[in-house]
Amino acid sequence: MVNYKDLGLVNTREMFAKAIKGGYAIPAFNFNNMEQMQAIVAACVETKSPVILQVSSGARKYANQTILRYMAQGAVEYAKELGCNIPICLHLDHGDTYELSVSCIEMGFSSVMIDGSELPIEENIAITKKVVAAAHACGVSVEAEIGHVGGRGDDAVKEDVYTTVEEAKTFYEQTDVDMLAVSIGTTHGVYLKKPELKFDRITELNEAIPIPLVMHGGSGLTKEDYIEVSKRGISKINFATYMFLAGGQAIEDKVNDAAGKKAEFNSLLKAGFEGQKQIVKEHIGYFGTEKWNKK
Ligand code: G3H
Ligand code: ZN
């Protein structure tokens, strides 16, 4: 068993206490490999912003759980070396079983998501309670989801997937969860059409429950959208797809620049790193996270 504190990581409690007071959001960026982790950490150090580094179960399989743990520890040391000891949380994104959540807690994650959003609410409550008990015993924070954020422009626009205030309240009261992902009109992946965000629903949810609200599917919104959702009570913004695409585009550009010459692996990864770092910095600005440094 590795405790996250021994890796220099933090859970999300202090981050959110400060963000809620300041009316801004903490960014949660997904990573799968070293260059992505470095791009995120370098951008956060330059803006002196706290960060949630998140890992999906797919990324965990891809990168290997032991390597990931060392990468997270490396992220903490890398930030210090770059000159700023920013708070870094290592979070399991969209965990789907109790066993996976516990395994991550034992490997040094400081936060886990248990996503039972496609289960009947009673089952979602039951599995969340079980994960909360295991996580809280180790000081690890827990995110759950009520309502359902769908994928790629499909079902998130249907009325019944938006989170209702009643459900969110019941869920919060019965689970003791630390943060709640809510469905307010975003979807995962590339938008096929402009999302219809329910800003008023965020305000209502924020007034009804006293824990941080999380927005999944954070890629591809406008600067104004990010400012508005943060102002109304979204405290964690998950951002992945458009960052991955920015990295891919930078690599593609590098290949095209090579004009027929063979492109070299390291220089392509370096281009991907720069592309991702740039979009991360830009979005930290939109989320207002730099306010972390203001008194
Ligand atoms: O859990 C991860 C996110 O919700 C990311 O969504 O890929 O649409 O930015 P995105
Ligand atoms: Zn998500």
pLDDT at 157: 53
Cβ atoms within 10 A of the Cβ of 201, count?
20
Closest by Cα among 256, 250, 252 to 277:
250
Contacts of residue 66, Cβ cutoff 8 Å, sequence gap at least 6 = 107
Mean pLDDT of 191-209: 95
Indicate if the pLDDT at residue 111 is higher than 60: yes
Confidence of residue 193 (pLDDT cuts 50, 70, 90): confident
| Cβ of residue 60 lying under 6 Å from some atom of ligand 1 | no
CA–CA gap between residue 241 and residue 247 (Å, rounded): 10
Ligand 1, atom 6: closest residue by C-alpha: 217
The reported pLDDT for the residue numbered 260 is: 79
Q: Which pLDDT band holds residue 158 (cuts at 50, 70, 90)?
A: low
Residue 280 pLDDT level (bands cut at 50, 70, 90)? very high
pLDDT at 153: 55
Residue 92 pLDDT exceeds 50: yes
Regarding the beta carbon of 38 and ligand 1, being less than 6 Å apart is answered no
List helix spans (H) across 137-240: 165-175, 199-208, 223-232
pLDDT score of 155: 47
Give the global pTM: 0.97
Mean pLDDT within 138-164: 82
Among 14-28, 158-172, 228-242, the minimum mean pLDDT is found in 158-172
**What integer pLDDT is reported at residue 259 of this predicted model?**
78
Query: Which ligand 1 atom is nearest residue 244's CA?
Result: 7
Q: Which of 6, 93, 176, 225 is catalytic?
A: 93
pLDDT value for 154 = 56
216 lines ligand 1 (CB under 6 A): yes
When pLDDT is averaged across residues 271-275 and rounded to a whole number, the result is: 98
Q: Give mean pLDDT, residues 240-258.
A: 95
pLDDT (0 to 100) of residue 62: 96
From the CA of 57, which ligand is nearest?
Answer: 1
pLDDT, residue 152, reads: 64
Contact between 140 and 150 under an 8 Å Cβ cutoff? The reply is no
Segment 83-93 shows an average pLDDT of: 97
Task: Share the mean pLDDT of the chain.
Answer: 95
Render the burial of 225-237: b for 16+ CB within 10 Å, e for the rest: bbbebbebbbbbb
Ligand 1, residue 215: give the atom nearest the CA. 4
Is 93 designated active site?
Answer: yes
Phi, psi of 23 (to 5 degrees): 70, 35
Residue 39 confidence (pLDDT) above 60: yes
**201-216 pLDDT, tens digit each:** 999 999 999 999 999 9
Return the pLDDT at 146: 97
Query: Would the pLDDT of 156 be above 50?
Result: no
